Amino acid sequence: MHIAPSAWRSARGVYLVTPDEADSGRLLARVQPLLAAGASWLQYRNKRADAPLRLAQATALQALCAQAGVPLLINSDAALAHAVGAAGVHLGEDDGDIAAARTLLGPDAIIGASCYEQLILAQRAVAAGASYVAFGAFFPSRTKLTTRRAQPELLRQSAALGVPRVAIGGLTPDNAAPLVGAGADLIAMVSGVFSAADPVAAMHAYRGCFDPPLQV
């Protein structure tokens, strides 16, 4: 799925990350209404799946996202992103080289980098060709154990990088709003939406962190 750089460079809103889900049909059924509810980006992340399941799920999600006009990014795996025609990849510090991912996926791919609580990592990522940087965890996360804590000031300090900034880690509609105020262009979550009693309502609540309200 080709996304014009002008579109992703100005991205704002909810960056939804999928939960570990073995049932592909259930995964698609959970994701589809959230795309319709206004997710700006979707990241496919399933740490428990084997390679064939990851390929099948990523392929199905790419078709769903293409229909909805939402960029799909793949967690940690540039080769899988390339195989399914995803918009890009998100890389942690041990997930491979940004420049190599750029070579594989092309100049217009969205390549994100986890920068945790360090501005220097964000500076290095952008210099290497990252499209956006992600900071966190800002709060304790229910999705995975986190020991690094990012501070809101980091979002202000990174404004000069000139790329979208993503906040992640334990976000709720209440605690995410100040991070948006500090400069987060996208707020990312897994359980905050997928584990909510009403995921669509949760999506709308997170979108309400942005002013003026985003339009579907």
CATH hierarchy code of domain 5-207: 3.20.20.70
Active site residue 131: no
How far is residue 177's CA from residue 124's CA, in Å, rounded to a whole number? Answer: 27
Task: Give all strands (DSSP E) within 50-189, no chain letters.
Answer: 72-75, 88-91, 110-116, 132-135, 165-168, 186-189
Q: Which of 45, 54, 102, 165 is catalytic?
A: 45
Domain residue ranges in the chain: 5-207
Phi, psi of 187 (to 5 degrees): -115, 130
Structure confidence by residue, pLDDT tens digits, 70-82: 999 999 999 999 9
Structure confidence by residue, pLDDT tens digits, 129-175: 999 999 999 998 776 666 778 999 999 999 999 999 999 999 999 99
Active site residue 45: yes
Q: Which of 40, 76, 114, 158 is catalytic?
A: 114
- Take residue 187 and report the two structure tokens written for it: 């707020």
Average confidence (pLDDT) over 85-113: 96
Active site residue 47: no
Average pLDDT over the chain reads: 93
Q: pLDDT tier at 5 (50, 70, 90 boundaries)?
A: low
